[in-house]
């Protein structure tokens, strides 16, 4: 899977999760299931991705240039861009 494909899949998952939260907002059990499932899926994907790529990068979070260097790696950009429900 390429970073572009992972980005597309993650966006689709997030969109479906947000739609489910909107449609089932009155059902607490559904809301809990959607949030736990989405967060777990993203965590299971992004934690290994960040662990594998972040420590080999010359970038960091101490300056804007460091963040730009991190985001020069497409895999880290995917992991950094995604926001969950």
The per-residue pLDDT for range 44-83, each reduced to its tens digit, is 998 898 888 877 788 888 899 988 888 888 888 888 776 4
> Under a CB-based contact definition with an 8 Å cutoff, are residues 35 and 85 in contact?
yes
**Residue located via tokens 């730009």:** 68
DSSP annotation of 54: G
With a cut of 50, say whether residue 40 has pLDDT above it: yes
What span, in angstroms and rounded, lies between the C-alpha atoms of 23 and 47?
Answer: 29
Q: Which pTM was predicted?
A: 0.74
The answer for residues whose C-beta is within 8 angstroms of residue 35's C-beta and 6 or more apart is 17, 21, 85
- Averaged pLDDT, 34-47: 90
Residue 84, pLDDT score: 43
């Amino acid at each position: 899977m390429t970073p572009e494909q992972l980005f597309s899949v993650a966006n689709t998952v997030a969109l479906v999760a947000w739609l489910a939260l909107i449609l089932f907002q009155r059902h607490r059990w559904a809301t809990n299931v959607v949030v736990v499932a989405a967060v777990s899926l993203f965590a299971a994907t992004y934690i290994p991705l960040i662990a594998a790529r972040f420590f080999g990068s010359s970038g960091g979070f101490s300056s804007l240039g460091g963040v730009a260097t991190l985001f020069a790696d497409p895999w880290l950009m995917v992991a950094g861009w995604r926001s969950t429900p």
